[in-house]
Structure 1
């Protein structure tokens, strides 16, 4: 808080900043509640109004959010269906009572005093995620938030209270969860994928309350689908998928890689049971499902494109040592490994393949030499440029044909020489 700025009313630090400080975690952002004032008084003091649905203001120096204490009333389905009331008569306790979880309903006064009307400190000590009141069921986003907090705090031993999970199941059964908008689903999922050591807990929590089948039915359908135990000792495809997203998190991979790890095996849910535990052509079957998820959740265009490539090509990457030089060349081209501006995307696909290989029981730290093999092959092929071909007198379409021929020849020499010393892991 900036002492030079006079804040009208009583000001309290609330929410995640208080929770994380009590847990000994780093605090990345701070939110404030102001009691006993009006929007006009806040603006007169120099705060900038930014809230559309209820009064929220930005501090002119820190840019931190200051919201007026408020209450809310459900008026329609979904998380937009609320009427908010904020004036100088709303108390801090009333504001805290409308929050989702007890651990998020603790406030701290300027002198350090904690205001905790919902028992959040006890639940922090007991490592429990518990709803504040039955009003929890009015906002479907809270299902996603609980799952996200479960994932983020799983390393500390937190779990969802049985009665809270029961309310979440009720929200699924009543259809409240069906009112979630795609952008909010993807945003909460992205935060869970990026800010959790074990993002799998997010999806497992949604599955435990039945929400995964509504939000990501393509992922939910993977559970109970067996795979070959020699390649996948964990057997269950759903479990494998969760191990993959956790492997991507362990590698500190960017969000796009974690997303690729989540959707790469969707095609296995379409394998006829009579063919189990084999999954021939699952990579081809999976591409339309990946596209459908991307369209429904309005996933960024880059994520859609790379997840489609990874889904289609991940088996080719796993068995790259078996490919003949021309097939290796064409794979590199499809992965973006032969185009300089796309090398970063190429690296992301390799990281996702690595997460797939390590998302298996007993293989969490296995070597994955395919990555170095493909990097070396791509660098070698890229060293042969079109300008070299043009310098030798080729023109038009003959340039591309000759460039491919020369690169394949170089890859053949690579496979026979240095490439032969780089191992390979089956998948």
Structure 2
């Protein structure tokens, strides 16, 4: 069965992206209908004779690879700020960019506080969609450039301009580093939860007092409330939040894995709940590899820490409660005995593991 829709127009009579009254009738022309679209490349149609109907220059913008608004009515729908940013992320591989005048209108929408009229669910839906694209970094950058990131996710926006030690971060800026981590996460995994964790891992650096720069002692634990805050604000799925909190809290532990004593590694394993959620642990390691490689000149460096921790975990997975139950141990006694056995395994693993020369 074919479906047909009458041409229609929209008139804004309220706030947000739902504050419209639609008018559909035979007297509404196709040109009027196309005028209500967001971008010129979306405002074309094909006539019965096969000819392209293009009253607003969509073909020209398509050839120029420009995302441009159709009319000043663009500002009536604040959701378009996020949609245009997502289109920029989706079509970045083809060379598309947002027209400067459209960026100006997006900035006007932000300045008029229209983003506050969008629901948390709708905002995160656009974020989540962007995280499945090849260039979610472009999505974040466009939001920052028009001022929307500061309104939607201020703790992330704040990272730009905050320095890191040049020895470990030749790119210096924490915001640039976060974007680079996101880019590496895209290379390493197609999971949006890992990419979201990449955006969250260094939020605590935004709380470091300026007189302590470029050092950020304790930024891991400092960032945890900020991760919880954005997850609550945008109603982020619990699985995303759980991984983001893990990466935020333990990314330095992961990077320094070879320096950690077996007790500390076991404590981290237990805190990460690797025994019940092994897949989450794999995602944790991928996110941390992205963090390590998301620095200027580090992009292709090996990350043996992941292999070291994963092998230690797999060895500890063989520990079973059954022998201790058979011995008559109960409750905490069983747990303590299993931890002792895991500790012995990790101690032997540390001795036997050959650290590759980096």
Q: Does 1:362 align with 2:273?
A: no
The alignment status of 1:398 with 2:336, answered yes or no, reads no
The answer to whether the 8 A contact 1:102-1:119 is kept is yes
Aligned match of 1:330 in 267, 277, 293? 267
User: Within 2, Cα distance between the matches of 1:153 and 1:124?
Assistant: 11
Q: 1:394 and 1:153, CA in 2 relative to 1: closer, same or farther beyond 3 A?
A: same
SS at match of 2:91: helix
Q: SS at 1:413's partner residue?
A: helix
Q: Do structure 1's residue 100 and structure 2's residue 38 form an aligned pair?
A: yes
CA RMSD of aligned residues (A): 1.5
Residues 14-413 of structure 1 aligned to structure 2 (within 5 Å)? 34=4, 67-109=5-47, 112-195=50-133, 197-339=134-276, 342-413=277-348
Counterpart Cα distance in 1 of 2:331 and 2:129 = 49
* C-alpha contact 2:189 2:286 (8 A) present in aligned 1: no
What is the rounded CA distance, in whole Å, between the counterparts of 1:334 and 1:77 in structure 2? Answer: 45
Identify if the C-alpha distance between structure 1 residues 380 and 208 changes in structure 2 by more than 3 Å, giving closer, same or farther. Answer: same
Query: What displacement does 1:306 show?
Result: 1.7
1:415 aligns with 2:353: no
CA distance in 2, matches of 1:217, 1:396: 46
Measured after TM superposition, the shift of residue 320 of structure 1 is: 0.8
| TM-score normalised over the length of structure 1 | 0.81
Aligned partners of 1:244 and 1:358 also within 8 Å: yes
Look up the match of 1:50: none
Structure 1 residues 372 and 6: CA distance shift in structure 2, 3 A:
closer
Q: For this pair of structures, how many residues does the alignment match?
A: 358
CA distance in 1, matches of 2:274, 2:46: 53
Q: Distance in 2 between matches of 1:147 and 1:254?
A: 20
- 1:322-369 Cα distance to aligned partner (Å, 9 max, x none): 111111111112223223xx1111111111111111111111121111
Decide whether aligned partners of structure 1 residues 404 and 95 sit closer, same or farther in structure 2, where only a CA change above 3 A counts: same
Q: Distance in 2 between matches of 1:388 and 1:365?
A: 44
Deviations 1:122-173 (A, max 9, x none): 1010011100000000000001011111111122221111111111111111
TM-score after normalising by structure 2: 0.96
Distance 1:364 1:68, change over 3 A: farther
Q: Distance in 2 between matches of 1:315 and 1:107?
A: 54
Query: What secondary structure does 2:10 align onto?
Result: strand
Q: Which runs of 5+ in 2 are unaligned?
A: none
SS state at 1:96 partner: helix
Measured at CA, do residues 424 and 376 of structure 1 come closer, stay the same or move farther in structure 2, by a change above 3 Å? farther
The answer to whether the 8 Å contact 1:370/1:424 transfers is no
Q: 8 Å contact 1:226–1:236 — kept in the other structure? A: yes
Q: Aligned partners of 1:274 and 1:423: how far apart in 2?
A: 37
Deviation at 1:110, TM superposition (A): 6.1
Query: Given that residues 335 and 349 in structure 1 are in contact (C-alpha distance below 8 angstroms), is that contact kept between their aligned partners in structure 2?
Result: no
CA contact (8 A) 2:162 2:173 kept: yes
Shift in CA distance, 424/146, structure 1 to aligned 2, threshold 3 Å: farther
**Structure with more helix by fraction:** 2
Classify 1:328/1:345 alpha carbon distance in 2 versus 1 (closer, same or farther; 3 Å): same
Task: Say if 1:161 and 1:362 are closer, same or farther in 2 by CA, change over 3 A.
Answer: same
Per chain length, whose mean CA-contact separation is higher, i.e. which structure has more relative contact order (CA < 8 Å, sep 6+)? 2
